[in-house]
Amino acid sequence: MEEAGERARELRRAGKTIEEIKQELGTRSSRKVAEWLRGEPPNPSIRRRKAKVGAREEARRLRVDGLSYNAIAATLGVAKSSVSVWCQDIVLSEEQKAALMLPVEQAQRKRGATARAARIRRTQLLQEAAAAEIGELADRELFLIGVTLYWAEGSKQKPWSPSGGVTFINSDASVIATFLAWLRLIGITPADLIMRVAIHEHADIDAAHAFWAEVAQVPVDEFRRPTLKRHNPKTVRRNTGEMYVGCLVVEVRRSTDLNRRIAGWWAGLAAAAGRYAGDDPSRVV
């Protein structure tokens, strides 16, 4: 028996548990083993092993309950990698997976909203600073702007239609206002203008008329009958809702020669720009 007791103490010092010692010595009596080990302090590694076994069991229980690896690791004070190994065979239900994804999706939405807000603010600051750089316009500057604007957006005469007048259409209120200011600059009066709204048939036409009347600073009853665009069910439209007001079409009466003059103005402007660029190849136009 003394030999068995000495062997039990050796095994204890080696970090074996009572169950492991019983198996090693071929005995079923925990009491007998306890007697052999009386006075022998337990190896610290045994406590660690027991703690690890307990942590593993608790981790698996928490995982079955649907907790994430991060939450389990934080709760038990263990490494996430250990939790992953312990629980890798546990399959979560679809409801549990959805519950785990919810905080992730919420965090993603929050980050997205924060990024969008920052982008909007940065855009606003850049635009405000850029607008302040413009200042007041001289008549010549407005004249050149109007020529460029019309050549980009207005109707031009074609070889097969050499008598077309001045017609301008746009959905941007600031563009329309700038064009009308340019017309006043070159001597076109309100009596020379014909205006109408071009809009989809299902839109709020009365609201559109009120909007464009304010932009053009004319009474609503001066507008001609609107041009309605028929709805195409196959087309996915994004210009819908209360903000959609269509386009304003501005025509100048008896303006065939004005259209020709605009073409000449643009030709002169383009030629001057070409000479400007040619003076200094390093200059950015």
Measured CA to CA in angstroms, residue 244 lies from 46, 216, 230, 267 at distances of 75, 17, 15, 36
- Strands 193-200 vs 247-252: parallel, antiparallel or unpaired: antiparallel
Q: Please check whether residue 284 lies inside any domain of the structure.
A: no
Q: Please check whether residue 149 lies inside any domain of the structure.
A: yes
| Greater model confidence, 104 or 181 | 181
pLDDT at 234 over 60: no
**Same domain (yes/no): 207, 185:** yes
Query: Looking at this protein, which amino acid is placed at residue 234?
Result: K
pLDDT at 202 over 70: yes
Q: Which long-range contacts (CB under 8 A, 24 or more apart) does 234-243 make?
A: 237/200, 239/171, 239/200, 240/203, 242/204, 242/207
Q: Please check whether residue 190 lies inside any domain of the structure.
A: yes
- Strands 193-200 vs 227-229: parallel, antiparallel or unpaired: parallel
Q: What is the pLDDT of residue 55?
A: 80
Span of 73-82, 231-240, 243-252 with lowest mean pLDDT: 231-240
**Same domain (yes/no): 76, 110:** no
Number of independent structural domains in the chain: 3
Q: What is the pLDDT of residue 258?
A: 97
Residue where a domain stops, chosen among 107, 135, 163: 135
Question: Does the global pTM surpass 0.75?
Answer: no
Mean pLDDT of 70-98: 86
pLDDT at 156 over 80: yes
**Same domain (yes/no): 151, 206:** yes
Q: Please check whether residue 263 lies inside any domain of the structure.
A: yes
**Same domain (yes/no): 183, 261:** yes
**Same domain (yes/no): 274, 178:** yes
Q: What is the pLDDT of residue 275?
A: 83
Q: Please check whether residue 70 lies inside any domain of the structure.
A: yes
**Same domain (yes/no): 154, 275:** yes
**Same domain (yes/no): 162, 34:** no
Start-end of H helices in the chain: 2-13, 18-25, 30-36, 44-64, 69-76, 80-87, 94-134, 139-153, 173-185, 205-216, 256-279
Q: Please check whether residue 228 lies inside any domain of the structure.
A: yes
Q: In which band, very low, low, confident or very high, does the pLDDT at 132 lie, cut at 50, 70 and 90? A: very high
**Same domain (yes/no): 29, 154:** no
pLDDT tens digits for 174-192? Answer: 999 999 999 999 999 999 9
**Same domain (yes/no): 21, 82:** yes
Query: Average model confidence (pLDDT) for the chain?
Result: 85
**Same domain (yes/no): 126, 144:** no
Task: Residue 229: name the closest of 256, 202, 201 by CA.
Answer: 201
Q: What is the pLDDT of residue 163?
A: 84
Q: What is the pLDDT of residue 285?
A: 43
Q: Note down the domain range covering 204.
A: 139-279
Q: In which band, very low, low, confident or very high, does the pLDDT at 159 lie, cut at 50, 70 and 90? A: confident
**Same domain (yes/no): 162, 103:** no
pLDDT at 236 over 70: no
- pLDDT > 70 in the chain, percent: 84
**Same domain (yes/no): 264, 150:** yes
Q: Please check whether residue 285 lies inside any domain of the structure.
A: no
| Greater model confidence, 124 or 18 | 124
